[in-house]
Amino acid sequence: MRDPRIQKLAENLVGYSVDMQPGENVLIEMIGSERDLLNAIIEEVGKKGGHAFVQLTDRTVQRAMLKNATKEQLSLWAELDLERMKKMDCYIGIRAGENVNDLSDVPEENMKLYNSIYQHSVHSEERVKRTKWVVLRYPNASMAQLANTSTEAFEDFYFDVCNLDYSKMDRAQDPLAELMRKTDKVRIIGPGTDLSFSIKGIGAEKCSGQKKYSGRRSLHRTGTGFR
């Protein structure tokens, strides 16, 4: 039986973080071996009338490719994946790899080429600017170790945060956002601290997993607490 917390997370990702609408195409990129969440997201997309597409990425395989990549190869790789991304309305990226340093020994020049050719065109220019997207890390023993906690305790913390009612949080932020938009002088006082500055005309945007922008899509979302 599936952990109900995973089902709730899938619902949050599809229904809130990318606000998927019927008929929309959703690219789900899974980096790592986690499958329960991936399957739950696919099912949730189907329930809501969307079309799920999946990319499974293994960091050890990606490492081998990048260590041997040429500029011509990266250009074609970017061209192919860019065409796919252009057909997507939503993107859900899950980082569930066991070792955050799997790509650490890829030659620097190869990583620079990958970032400038592939990442820039496929993700920075197309996915970030023109789709509704969310990227999250998924809890595992490696993450728990970095946090100096047990795996179970880290998972509990993770799901407590990622399964919040973000719609409720969004509404609760309205008064503070409005106050900040009309505020001029700010003073922060504390032990050894006395800072004064102006925020007049800067504006304020709520960090609740929603961000409006001008682009091909009308709404771009990143799940607060998910990334």
Write the Ramachandran bin of 63: left for phi over 0, alpha for psi from -120 to 50, otherwise beta.
alpha
Q: What is the mean pLDDT of residues 47-53?
A: 98
Per-residue pLDDT at 55: 96
| Signed CA dihedral, 128, 131, 132, 138: sign only | negative
Per-residue pLDDT band for 227 (boundaries 50, 70, 90) equals very low
Determine the 3-state secondary structure of 92 from DSSP: strand
In this model, does residue 78 exceed pLDDT 60? yes
What are the tokens at 69?
A: 């990549």
Nearest CA among 38, 58, 35 for reference residue 46: 38
For residue range 145-201, what is the model confidence (pLDDT) as tens digits?
Answer: 888 999 999 999 999 999 988 889 889 999 999 999 999 999 999 999 999 999 999
Q: Under a CB-based contact definition with an 8 Å cutoff, are residues 106 and 66 in contact?
A: yes
Q: Under a CB-based contact definition with an 8 Å cutoff, are residues 117 and 203 in contact?
A: no
pTM: 0.82
Largest CA distance in the chain: 57
- Count Cβ atoms within 10 A of the Cβ of residue 181 and give its class: 0-12 exposed, 13-18 middle, 19 or more buried: middle
Nearest CA among 157, 203, 210 for reference residue 181: 203
For residue range 95-115, what is the model confidence (pLDDT) as tens digits?
Answer: 987 777 888 999 999 999 999
Q: Under a CB-based contact definition with an 8 Å cutoff, are residues 90 and 23 in contact?
A: no
Tell me how long the chain is. Answer: 227
Q: Under a CB-based contact definition with an 8 Å cutoff, are residues 118 and 76 in contact?
A: no
Per-residue pLDDT at 219: 41
Mean pLDDT estimate for the chain:
89
Per-residue pLDDT band for 221 (boundaries 50, 70, 90) equals very low
How far apart, in whole angstroms, are the C-alpha atoms of residue 164 and residue 141?
23
Per-residue pLDDT band for 9 (boundaries 50, 70, 90) equals very high
